């Protein structure tokens, strides 16, 4: 499986997507720059995605910025050893605290976040979502940005739903199940399609809604 590791891979994926679905030519032109969005696999990368759950990109950046200042380096051991005062100062909600602690504990018990990046997407998602606090969206985003997986599309993402709905004139915007079916036509480049529609949303709304990397 080809991994998304460079802007050349993004360009190749966009070319292929426009061949698969000519409607995406207009989407690509409007979206303009489609960034790579690739992070180093490991705990810090997954932690940043957990922090970004159900909050704006600006809020996620602020919370994660405070967290890494308080716990540097940000490791499972640091999270497990942090007290509630640290989490409160960072601005972490109770669910995010529980999620980070659960992931830190799972890594301490042997969950290999690097090895997950080499696995089949369905298998990796199953392992990740077995950890409390990690849902499908978090697992899919980790595979997109830490593993460079070419064919993952987080259809639960509200910004992606909004972008696809606007770009393809689908009203009301496609909900998760409908978007999953629609995205199947963009295989094996759904990971690039997700980046494309996050970029489209950025141009449409004037703010970035993609998870931080």
CATH of the domain at 187: 1.10.1670.40
- Residue 57 CA to residue 53 CA, distance in Å, equals 9
For residues 125 and 156, state if they share a domain: no
Q: Is residue 136 part of a domain?
A: yes
Do 192 and 145 meet the contact criterion of CB atoms below 8 Å apart? no
Would residue 210 count as lying in a domain? no
Dihedral sign of CA atoms 210, 11, 183, 39 in order:
negative
Last-in-domain residue among 145, 162, 178 = 145
Average pLDDT over residues 89-102: 95
pTM: 0.94
Q: Supply the CATH number for residue 128's domain.
A: 1.10.340.30
Domain count, the chain: 2
The yes-or-no verdict on residue 136 having pLDDT over 80 is yes
Together in a domain, 68 and 126: yes
Question: Do 171 and 186 have their domain in common?
Answer: yes
Q: Are 139 and 159 in the same domain?
A: no
- Whether 2 is covered by a domain: the verdict is no
Q: 164 falls in which pLDDT band (50, 70, 90)?
A: very high
Asked if 28 and 78 sit in the same domain, the reply is no
Residue 128 scores a pLDDT above 80 = yes
The answer to whether position 82 is within a domain reads yes
- Residue 104 covered by a domain: yes
pLDDT of 1: 62
Nearest to 48, CA basis, from 35, 32, 62: 62
108 and 125 co-located in one domain: yes
Query: pLDDT digits over 25-55, tens only?
Result: 999 999 999 999 999 999 999 999 999 998 8
The average pLDDT across 128-151 equals 96
pLDDT at 212: 82
Do 52 and 123 reside in the same domain of the chain? yes
Residue 101 lies inside a defined structural domain of this protein: yes
Residue 178 pLDDT > 90, yes or no?
yes
**Average pLDDT rounded to a whole number, residues 79-101:** 94
Q: Is the pLDDT of residue 213 over 90?
A: no
pLDDT over 90, % of the chain: 93
Rounded to an integer, what distance in angstroms lies between the CA atom of residue 45 and that of residue 40? 7
Rounded to the nearest integer, the mean pLDDT of the chain is 95
In terms of residue numbers, what domain contains 62? 43-145
Task: Supply the pLDDT for residue 175.
Answer: 96
């Amino acid at each position: 499986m080809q991994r998304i590791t460079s802007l050349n891979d993004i360009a190749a994926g966009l070319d292929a997507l426009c061949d698969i679905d000519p409607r995406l030519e207009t989407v690509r032109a409007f979206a303009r720059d489609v960034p790579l969005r690739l992070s180093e696999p490991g705990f810090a990368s997954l932690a940043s995605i957990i922090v970004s759950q159900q909050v704006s990109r600006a809020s996620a950046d602020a919370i994660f910025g405070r967290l890494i200042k308080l716990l540097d380096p940000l490791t499972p051991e640091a999270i497990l050893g942090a007290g509630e005062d640290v989490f409160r100062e960072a601005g972490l909600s109770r669910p995010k605290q529980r999620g980070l602690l659960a992931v830190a504990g799972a890594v301490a018990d042997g969950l290999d976040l690097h090895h997950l990046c080499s696995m089949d997407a369905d298998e990796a998602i199953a392992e990740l979502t077995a950890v409390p606090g990690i849902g499908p969206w978090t697992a899919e985003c980790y595979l997109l940005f830490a593993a460079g997986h070419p064919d993952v599309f987080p259809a639960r993402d509200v910004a992606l739903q909004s972008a696809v709905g606007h770009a393809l004139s689908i009203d009301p915007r496609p909900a998760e199940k409908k978007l999953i079916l629609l995205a199947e036509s963009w295989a094996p480049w759904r990971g690039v399609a997700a980046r494309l529609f996050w970029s489209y949303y950025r141009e449409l709304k004037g703010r970035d809604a993609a998870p931080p990397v």
